[in-house]
Structure 1
Amino acid sequence: MQDAHIFSSTLADLAVASLVEEVSLTPKPGLVDLNDQGSHNDLDYATMVKSANCLHETFSKMAMAAYGERPSQSLREKIGEIGREGENTMFQVTNGVNTHKGAIWSLGLLTASAAIHKGECDELALCFTAGEIARFDDRYIPPQLTNGIKAINKYGVNGAKVEAQLAFPHIRTVSMPIFKTSLIQYNYEVAKFRSFLALMANLDDTCLLHRGGIEGLDYAKQYATTVLESGNLDELESMNEEFIWRNLSPGGSADLLAATIYLYKISQMRLSKDMELATIH
């Protein structure tokens, strides 16, 4: 019989590990990685890792709140409250810099979804259940005008909220399929790079829009498409220099990459459990 506390803590381990893997993927154009700060003067690698680690309790609490439950407004609001507490912890650790606000939202919903299913489902089911939770209203969200919301209002694109409510279409149809084929064709590291480029090529990233407008978004999408099609990952170094020069940062793509890695880790956990059971029998 599964222990809810151990399972919740394991999900939190995987969520934090996914965030650390995302920031550690190097080089990433315009983003913090092991080489440099990208287009972020107020951030560095150590701060990003510290931020990821401080969210362990947040993800663990979300999993406990959702364990064996069903999607509901009450659950949505509980997760929202835990998420806002997590944001406060994050801001204390980062001295007020937003490192993982978007990731708390997307990985938080996927954590709750995995806990609802007790880990017994595939990536698609996890996305759809997360979408179901996201479509409930949270009556306690304080009014806020983030950079992302400003970009959504100005350019009429979908942001992180709608992406989740639609059950993460960019993960289901873009990053996860390319991740899986790249794992077979190349290896785990290349799979992450190719997923990241595919997300950047397809997502209306509000972080890019906020910093570079439509021109910046189109430039990033086109560049990512070119590198993905050529398969030449050495080009990422020059791409990083260009993004820094133009002050571009594909933060939305980075959040969805972390979520893609997380879903993969959850699916591996399920597979290893199935293999254990098969061995016992």
Structure 2
Amino acid sequence: MNTTPGPGRIVLAATPIGNLGDASPRLVEWLTTAPLVAAEDTRRLLHLANALGLRVAGRLISFHEHNEGARIEELLGLVRDGNDLLVVSDAGMPAVSDPGFRLVEAAVAAGLDVTAVPGPSAVPTALALSGLPTDRFTFEGFLPRKPGDRAGRLAELADERRTMVFFEAPHRLEPMLRALAEAFGPLRRAAVARELTKLHEEVRRGTLDELVTWSSDGVKGEIAVVVAGAGEAAPAEAADHVAAVQALVDGGLRLKDAVGAVAERERVSKRELYAAVLDARA
């Protein structure tokens, strides 16, 4: 806590994404001592505090996506006056697909101190449990709701080779998975993680086509979707497109050009597809 003259600091604190046992001792300390607490939902924060058996002593300030811009100068002013400001979202780390980024951006520009209390986050948790490569990944958050905008965003990610992590609402999961299958191909590997750290935690792994079928009856809970990057399934898929290459060759196209056209269209490795065609001819 700030005990010396001068500006205070902004503290981003991660809250549990499900299991209350994941609340860190530092989170508890800050909740009970911070003079100011900016919360995405003040009622949910008080519910969390009650469940943890503690009392939030500081002044509660509502800070969510609809008022973030209007509140920034007020909050920065309070910090300049020497107050420490604790920032929490409903679950996980603030500023990661939650309010906080614009505040941090403004604080950094103003030369104010920003630190964090690490803790739970659905992004690395879902990634670690997915069974997909974790050495390089990108977090894409929520896709646009409108089909056209969503298709455009996915087209931009068509050649992304890193593992991708998305968030999605349960009632929009099936159409989202269908859009992923259309954009990346039905055989792209993926995982759907729901209710992470909670009693009914589930991680469903398979191809996008299999996950579309699984989700057709409806899925409940908080959702994170992890998708393999481009090229991850290429060796296994290449043989499936030999017939398409042969059809182009039969139509008069050179083998090299036919392989290139099909590989680009189906987003598979040219080298693997060419080898598959030669194997089929042997």
Higher relative contact order (CA 8 A, sep 6+): 1
**Structure 1 or 2: larger strand share?**
2
Q: By the TM > 0.5 criterion, same fold?
A: no
**Structure 1 or 2: larger helix share?**
1
**TM-score band, normalised by the shorter chain?**
under 0.3
Larger Rg: 2
TM-score (norm 1): 0.27
